[in-house]
Structure 1
Amino acid sequence: MTINEEVMLSYFLNLKKKYAISSMWSKYSMLKAAIKVYKNIDIGKHSKFTSNLKSQSKGYKPKKAVVLERVQIEEFLTKACDKEYLKIKVITLLTF
């Protein structure tokens, strides 16, 4: 199979049905590295393809994860019911 701009566009248009634009950028990055190593082709030079991804990214606002403060974690560990949350407490302590 020949790797060219049309093939990449087609592949990513198909991915667009399943994934968010952030995931598509991640997949693009992985594919770009793999294709460079195995086929010695730099897909980063395909300007039509990258401009298509950039245009799909316009208006995208990434979701920020909520980060708990130390006080909130300590409160959970002391107040949450052991019967219900013991496994989560143990995991929290191991990663804390």
Structure 2
Amino acid sequence: MLLLCYLFINRTLLSSCVCGENVFSTPNIMEDILKKAEQARESLIPSKSEAVYQKEYKIYLDWLTRKNVMPKDVTETVFLAYFQELSETYSPNSLWTKWSMLKSMVTIHEKRDITKFNELQAFLKRKSKSYKPKKSAVLSPKDVIRFLKDAPNDIHLLHKVVLIMGYFGGCRSQELLNMKISDIEDRDSVMVVNVPESKTGVSKKFTVVDEKEFSALPLLRLYMSLRPKGIERFF
């Protein structure tokens, strides 16, 4: 009996293939597959950076409109012309950033893979070869301590608190922006800071204590006492 069932199933599948039919390709299954594929494409763009990606793509589309070029007609030559114009204003590092964002957006919206444009990548590499980025001035540890100790609080209190949070917690700018007063817990000899939204999407905590070289806690308490009532944001 099992053998007969097996032969019947195989014959059914075989006849479907011969007739050009796929027994699994029902409209509902295909619709589900397309939805999941679209979700996968959307995940190519970091959620926090979506607005930046969209803006960069719009700039590119506006340029195409000015040049009377339809997106479907874009070739590697068009991309070369676009990035040549950009190179007259932006640094090579910025060009690579724009290329990366456009790569994702063009993949999603136009189903086109610009990583296959070898001339374009060779152009960007050529621009980067002789480029020397400007080196930002960096404070030494002694400079930081001297600033925290000697700079007047009535002018630089905010800068001091930002520096303390960066020193103890290694916080990024967005993490500082999202920080609330309720995220800081004063435990007399130590302050516990909760960072609910980090870059990795995982919450983290760090502590602020008085160091041998400088006192951080009095600066934080002074800053918190001066914050307007009813304001949740720490910065």
Deviation at 1:83, TM superposition (A): 2.3
**Larger helix share, 1 or 2:** 1
Deviation at 1:53, TM superposition (A): 1.3
| 1:91 corresponds to | 162
Q: 2:126 aligns with which of 44, 49, 55?
A: 55
| 2:94 corresponds to | 23
Deviation at 1:50, TM superposition (A): 1.2
| 1:43 corresponds to | 114
**Larger strand share, 1 or 2:** 2
Select the structure with the greater relative contact order (CA < 8 A; seq sep ≥ 6). Answer: 1
- Measure, in 1, the Cα distance between the counterparts of 2:142 and 2:126: 42
The DSSP-based 3-state class of the residue aligned with 2:139 is: coil
What TM-score, normalized to structure 2?
0.37
- Measure, in 1, the Cα distance between the counterparts of 2:101 and 2:117: 16
Kindly report the root-mean-square deviation, in angstroms, between the aligned alpha carbons of the 2 structures. 1.8
What amino acid is aligned across from residue 74 of structure 2 in structure 1?
A: I
Deviation at 1:25, TM superposition (A): 0.8
**Percent identity between the two aligned chains:** 36
| 1:79 corresponds to | 150
| 1:3 corresponds to | 74
What amino acid is aligned across from residue 154 of structure 2 in structure 1?
A: K
- Measure, in 1, the Cα distance between the counterparts of 2:94 and 2:140: 28
The DSSP-based 3-state class of the residue aligned with 2:130 is: coil
What amino acid is aligned across from residue 81 of structure 1 in structure 2?
A: P
* 1:2-55 deviations in Å (ceiling 9; x for gaps): 221111111111111211111001101111111112212111111111111111
The DSSP-based 3-state class of the residue aligned with 1:6 is: helix
What TM-score, normalized to structure 1?
0.83
The DSSP-based 3-state class of the residue aligned with 2:85 is: helix
- Measure, in 1, the Cα distance between the counterparts of 2:108 and 2:137: 37
How many residues align? The count is 96
What amino acid is aligned across from residue 82 of structure 1 in structure 2?
A: N
Q: Which has the larger radius of gyration?
A: 2
